[in-house]
Structure 1
Amino acid sequence: MEPTLKQFRAFVAVAETGQFTRAAERLGLSQSAVSTLIGQLETNLGLRLFDRHTRLLRLTQAGTEALAVARQAVGDLDRLVENARELNDFSRGRVTIASGTLQAALTLPRLIKGFHLRYPNIDVSMHDVPERVVIEMVKSGAADLGLGTVSERDSEVVGTELLTDAFLVVMRPEHPLAQRSALRWQDLAEETLIGPQRGNPIRERLEAEMARIGMELKLHRSLQVALPLTIIGMVEAGLGVAVMTSTVKPLAHSVGLVTIMPSEPVIARKISLIQRSDNSLAPACRLFREFVQRAIQTSPRGLPA
């Protein structure tokens, strides 16, 4: 038979105390149980570990060599158990989340702050990346979680829905469209439109919805960029109007721009916490996911104060 950790633990205790009686007291076992474990270990190893004297035990040469291995095995197990206990008690841990730049700037910071106040020993590391990179990082394992839009056709990832992000138009306050009380998508047909490059999930969602209603919005060829902040800067400079999502409203309003949500139809996308479908989250990651869900569900603005 193979040696067991229980046998190794008894061996270490006997070697360190020099007596079966003291080893039994340390382990909370009977003296006979400890003696049996040592006998089993010697049989399993095919080695004599102790020279037995009237009152004391002395390690044989083989026992001395085996003791180092036994201590390592027992120590490794104890550290494994302690690490598992700490992780499940949330006394330490690490969470890595990838997010599109707007969500990273305007949604996640308050959530991370609220989480850190409650669980100060868990580190949250955030990567602000283009939206198309979020899913790639989750799939590769570079991020435990992602914040963004997940395709129902992608079986490698699964999302926990958090927010609804509606599409809107961003423009300067003096723009003629800004004076209207209501706006339709058809009203943008002749406008110079600024927007994200091809491959961006926001653009793909918008184009799919426009196709569904038999419309096409053409983004200006030279005004297609990667970062939302650049789009805001272009609108503020008067280069055109932009189709973005409601996450951008605080940023747009802070630089004096106007946002209007077109109707007929109202177009929105779901923002989710994304994880690999074949991977169980570590305790700290599960805790962060649950904290974010509760914070958004209980906050009127979808964010903790």
Structure 2
Amino acid sequence: MNSTTRHLRALLEIARLKSFTRAAERLHITQAGLSSMIHELESQLGCRLFDRTTRSVSLTEAGTVLVAAAEEIISRFDRAIAETGEATASARRVLSVAATPFISSSLLPAVCERFRNIVPDVSVRLNDTVHNEVRALIDSGECDLGVGIFFKPTAGIERTPIFDFDFAVVSRADEPMQESSLRAISRSPIAWSALKDEPLLGMPPGHAIQRLVDTHLKPIGRHQDNRPFYNSFHTLLAMVEAGFGSAILPSFVGAAAVGRRLKLQVVEQPRLHLQLCSISKKGRNLPAAAGEFNASLTRVIAERWGTEYS
């Protein structure tokens, strides 16, 4: 049995109009084509579905039974198609983004606000989670985009570079930091060698960012300091503001430093960079708005940090 919904729709249209001619017109096929479809259906069932004369078309007993079943089948099929379309459209109106809690809280709210103003019919579902989980959510397909610092390329993951952030020395200041100061942090850089006697705080020794910093502290003998360390950027910034020492961090922490008694200076000789990326799963059919989200992310960063040292 290989009847299709086309056969059933043809059956229902003829039964409703009681005319092969008018049913063929409504279905936009020839009368011969319609007759052929009904003949195929009757052959498969082994019975006649219509009694036809030159003046009338009426259902046989078997045709009446099949019409009742066809009405239910087509109704359920059309409902399922509509619901599937609605679910697909709804999914396209949601963009799921994964990022660490620090990036989620300090950078992405402004990005989401800009994105909403540009694409108001698409909402962003933000998943703030630990760094290792960001990539896992992308790989599993649970999230469309991931935003963060990703040190190692991963098979099956597409990387879109967003911005190269310098490392900066974060230290206590007398006045709260203004957002306009972010664009000026490279104008009064400080050399690694100037940090020889600076009390330093840091991330845990095994943290990838701290390992990178320690390789540049090694020439001045500071890479094995028994310094206080903290797991959270927010805690580290709070301890710096409280006067317990300075910290060397990627300059994107400036987003959380605004309004606090902190200042940032790019550290140089040499300069050290970290690339913020947006990642997605290779081959995934991303929502059309994904590109606009990345563009909004780039614009927010460019407005805050400028492009003079990126």
**Shorter-normalised TM range:** 0.7 to 0.9
Aligned to 1:224: 230
1:79-136 Cα distance to aligned partner (Å, 9 max, x none): 556766x57xx9x521110112333233322322232233322221012223333212
Q: What is the SS of the residue equivalent to 1:272?
A: strand
Does the aligned pair in 2 maintain the 1:139–1:276 contact within 8 Å?
Answer: yes
State the Cα distance separating 1:165 from its structure 2 match: 1.7
TM-score (norm 2): 0.77
Does the aligned pair in 1 maintain the 2:115–2:296 contact within 8 Å?
Answer: no
Aligned to 1:51: 50
Q: Are 1:236 and 2:235 counterparts?
A: no
Cα pair distance change 1:108/1:186, threshold 3 Å: same
1:124-159 Cα distance to aligned partner (Å, 9 max, x none): 101222333321222233322100123444213221
1:289 maps to a residue whose letter is A
Q: What is the SS of the residue equivalent to 1:164?
A: strand
Aligned to 2:289: 288
TM-score (norm 1): 0.78
CA–CA distance in 2 between the matches of 1:49 and 1:114?
A: 64
Aligned to 1:185: 192
Q: Are 1:60 and 2:67 counterparts?
A: no
Aligned to 1:256: 261
Does the aligned pair in 2 maintain the 1:194–1:223 contact within 8 Å?
Answer: yes
Aligned to 2:179: none
Cα pair distance change 1:211/1:60, threshold 3 Å: farther
1:59-86 Cα distance to aligned partner (Å, 9 max, x none): 33244324422443355446556766x5
1:157-205 Cα distance to aligned partner (Å, 9 max, x none): 221111112211111127xxx9x95422233344443233356453354
CA–CA distance in 2 between the matches of 1:300 and 1:224?
A: 26
> Larger Rg: 1 or 2?
2
CA–CA distance in 1 between the matches of 2:207 and 2:98?
A: 15
Does the aligned pair in 1 maintain the 2:107–2:255 contact within 8 Å?
Answer: no
Specify every segment of 5 or more residues in structure 1 that has no aligned partner in the other structure, as ranges. none
1:200-234 Cα distance to aligned partner (Å, 9 max, x none): 45335435x53897976346554222x22111111
Aligned length: 288
Aligned to 2:134: 134
Cα pair distance change 1:14/1:301, threshold 3 Å: same
Specify every segment of 5 or more residues in structure 2 that has no aligned partner in the other structure, as ranges. 175-184, 305-310
Q: Are 1:266 and 2:271 counterparts?
A: yes
Q: Are 1:144 and 2:144 counterparts?
A: yes
Which of 197, 209, 216 is the matching residue for 1:210?
216
Deviating more after overlay: 214-223 vs 192-201: 214-223
Cα pair distance change 1:298/1:125, threshold 3 Å: closer
